[in-house]
Chain A
Amino acid sequence: MKIKPLQISAHIILLLGVLLMVVPIWISFASSTHDTVTILTEGMKFNIGEYFSRNYNEVLNEKGGWSEEVTAAKMFINSFIMALGIATLKVTISAMSAYALVYYRFKLAVPIFWLIFITLLVPLEVRIFPTYKIVSDLGLTNSYTGLILPLVASATATFFFRQFYRTIPDELLESAKLDGANSWRFFVDFLLPLSKTMIAAMFIFMFVYGYSQYLWPLIMTTSEKYWTVVMGMKIIFTESYEGVALPRTAERFAYIILSMLPPVLVVVILQKWFIKGLIQTEK
């Protein structure tokens, strides 16, 4: 096979991109396996050190925070619950509301759709005070419900589902009707399986969105029991502020590496599905 110059240059560009993405992560990982003293004296490391298990063990199990009652492991669990809850509910609600908008041709479907769409202009950060007021009036501060609920409505996902449903030919619905499927069965037996790839993609986006929330959990939680990973990044291992002990740089690198894992895992797991769906032309 002849290799064209264009291919070579394309690959060089791709390789550069990959390096740009991977090198910082590698440095973080390599540094996280060294002793803090080594990093502070010798700078960031490219090679793997000897303290891998000690550092990671410390990060996961050491109690941190002001009241010393939260561990990183607990924060991971919190983040995971929050992201999973947000992603699942967002996908479910969007798919269902899009179904209602497309298939139940009620009078106000179009205005309602645009109303939903407009909420894109008002992200959580803009409406954070009223949202906080409502959540606290409902007594939901310091709870998983409070963390998840205000974030579950998604205009973006509703929009994508709506556009997708509109490409499904009417005959499919009619045919299903004649085969004895009611509205619920049509949704479950047809729309959901047909939008598998769409659901996978939305789930990935929404999971990462939920996982990387910072401001909302910060305001929402006063109890350390509900801290999330992204909050923890700022708060945990902050002994150096006192100027007494050394900053625990190695542990913080370990923490950063760990914090990247859940979204990466979700992408890797769902990607299989995602690509499978893209290859099969099922429509």
Chain B
Amino acid sequence: MSFLDLKNVTKIYPNGTKAVHETSLSIDEGEFMVFVGPSGCGKSTLLRMVAGLEDITEGEITLDGNLINEVDPSERDIAMVFQNYALYPHMNVYNNLAYGLKNRGIDKKDIDQKVNEAAKLLQISDYLERKPSMLSGGQRQRVAMGRAIVRNPKIFLFDEPLSNLDAKLRIQMRLEIKKLQQKVGVTSIFVTHDQTEAMTLADKLAVINNGIIEQLATPIEIYNNPKSLFVAGFIGSPQMNFIDGELKNNTLSAEGFEIKNVKSDFNGDITLGIRPEHLSQSDNGLINLNVDLVEQLGSDNLVYGQLKDKKDFCYRCPGNLTIKKGDKLSLNIDNENYFIFDKSSGKRVN
């Protein structure tokens, strides 16, 4: 049995909306789990059910061997970092960190020691006397994390904690969260809608859509082997290219090209998915691209253009290639690195 277990957890709101469908998953001790999905997919609801801030309509959640369905949030020994940090505005940083410990009746000396330790770890020792309103975004973020760490909880929950930060700080904090989690070794669940965050942070990644976990695996497995059209489109940046086509007797035909000897027994309408980075230029390529726009990132170029049927398409090439608007490129798919999905169900078929 693993550390945190969700068994057929379902959430139906009083108005009848089913936010989370029968969801089961388990998280091992010390694991960093990320829930990723578009807004409104139920990932936050799932997290809040673990925290005890939402009632569980059906199913069971066990933490460290104890059923916690009916346990009050204050008794669950869980710490959460909120999107807007939810720092206590009237308390200084020290008291923000100490409040949870005080409520647990820990004596002053120990509180002092723990707060100072956490502050040191997060490099906020200099701000302990300040009120949250006198801190910058990144510092607030650290205080919010400190409040979670200081209690040494069984599990950390992060509810999109980086979305209020500017881009540079976000990347920096992302790294810090990961480092910190590795250092402290606490089981964590992190909710985000940002696929880069999800990929970089997760030990295990759950891609959620419409209240259902579409795929649960390591980030690299999800990237290399997406199980559905949704997952394929959601993970990876820039987004995977999709081309409609037909598969018949192991031959895939799409507008303008054919792929023979496809390893799939599926027959019917399909969607072909190709990642922009899995393409390269060759003389007699499958795909002909009319370049509209080139984004030069330095290390890479993102080439946007249209196929014959005016469908938008993206190609990622090394930054040293010079491609201009108006160029016509001929592209091949590297090493059969393509994905085929059943067009009607979205399921992977190759």
Contacts and interface: CB of A to CB of B under 8 A. Distances in A.
Q: Do A and B bind each other?
A: yes
Interface of A: 169, 171-172, 174-182, 185, 189-190, 193-194, 280-283
B88 interface: yes
Interface residues of B, number: 26
12 contacts: A172-B86, A174-B51, A174-B53, A175-B82, A177-B72, A177-B73, A178-B51, A179-B100, A179-B147, A179-B151, A190-B90, A194-B90
B80 A172 contact: no
A190 to B, nearest CB: 7
Interface in B39-62: 51-53
Nearest to B83: A171
Nearest to A283: B89
Contacts, number: 66
Contacts of B15: none
B74 A177 contact: yes
Contacts of B52: 177-178
A281 B133 contact: yes
B86 A174 contact: yes
B79 A172 contact: no
Interface of B: 51-53, 72-76, 78-80, 82-84, 86, 88-90, 99-100, 103-104, 131, 133, 147, 151
A155 to B, nearest CB: 27
Q: Is chain A's interface secondary structure helix, strand, loop, or mixed overall?
A: helix
B23 to A, nearest CB: 21
B163 to A, nearest CB: 14
B103 A171 contact: no
Given A194-B89, A281-B133, A282-B89, A179 B82 contact: no
Nearest to A175: B86
A30 B100 CA distance: 59
A181 B74 contact: yes
A180 B79 CA distance: 10
A177 B103 CA distance: 10
A280 B90 CA distance: 10
A79 B259 CA distance: 96
B6 to A, nearest CB: 19
B74 A172 contact: no
B133 A180 contact: no
- Ranked 5 nearest A-B pairs via Cβ: A179-B100, A180-B103, A171-B86, A175-B86, A180-B74
Contacts of A185: 103
A178 B71 CA distance: 12
